[in-house]
Amino acid sequence: MAASPSALPVIRGEALDFYLARGYYRMQQDLFTCQFVPFDGRIYTTHWLRLVLARVQWGPEQRRLLRRNARFAVIIQPFHLTSEHEELYARYRSTITFDAAPTVEDVLLGGAVHNVFNTYIIELRDGNRLVAAGIFDRGDRSLAGILNFYDPNYRQYSLGKYLLLLKADYGQRLQLDYYYPGYLVHSYPKFDYKLFLGPVATEVFDSVGGQWQPFSWEAVMEQSVELLANWLPEDLREMAA
């Protein structure tokens, strides 16, 4: 009698929703959270964000970007890694000014042969040419943006922001509750683009109190002060930004 293989492990949609709502996020094939990150010899505080999709509305800047980029074909489908994705990512990585994983495979799988997440990709094409890709994980009531990358020759089209917009639009069309774009970093503006869809629709996670609250820079400042004063080990405080 042939034995049936055991089911491959998966992180089910309701489980992903649960952990995202508690400030966790994907790293390769695991879930993690953090309150601090080091950049340039300094330690900064991290602040996890989510968008309440029912409150996301397009303003003049978002509508202008939609009109400008209507030339690109948008394809949303389950994610399967290809050499075309890796080649585009390599071109993108060669021009950025921050640390990034060497490959898409390293970002998502880290050597694993099975993906435990329900992962999708948005491809943007100019004719047959792949010019941008946005990767996200789907839960039952939420989605988490994992990675965006684009052809440096198309930088003028703000494709990173456009992919944020498309992910939020996809979540709205599915009537999901939340879109989690990752964290921003206090006093380190390279991550502030995640506010492009509007602070009014954005919430920030208070990792000390374990609650989401309406986004404001004042709230971020208060959280940062609390984290640095009470959560960062004393021997590292002189490195804090």
> CATH number of the domain that 179 lies in?
3.40.630.30
At residue 236, the pLDDT reads 79
At residue 7, the pLDDT reads 56
At residue 104, the pLDDT reads 98
Residue 4 resides in a domain = no
pLDDT tens digits, one per residue of 146-194:
999 999 999 999 999 999 999 999 999 999 999 999 999 999 999 999 9
Contacts with 1 (C-beta within 8 Å, 6 or more apart), sequence order: none
At residue 115, the pLDDT reads 97
Is the confidence at residue 2, as pLDDT, over 60?
Answer: no
For 103, the token pair is 């490959």
Residue 3 resides in a domain = no
Structural domain that includes position 116:
13-239
b/e for 71-80, b at 16 or more Cβ within 10 A? ebebeeeebe
Instruction: Kindly report the backbone phi and psi dihedral angles of residue 117, in degrees, each rounded to the nearest multiple of 5, phi listed first.
Output: -100, 160
Q: Is 0.75 surpassed by the pTM of this model?
A: yes
Residue 183 resides in a domain = yes
Residue 193 resides in a domain = yes
Total count of domains within the chain: 1
Is the confidence at residue 35, as pLDDT, over 60?
Answer: yes
Q: How far is CA 181 from the centre of its chain?
A: 4
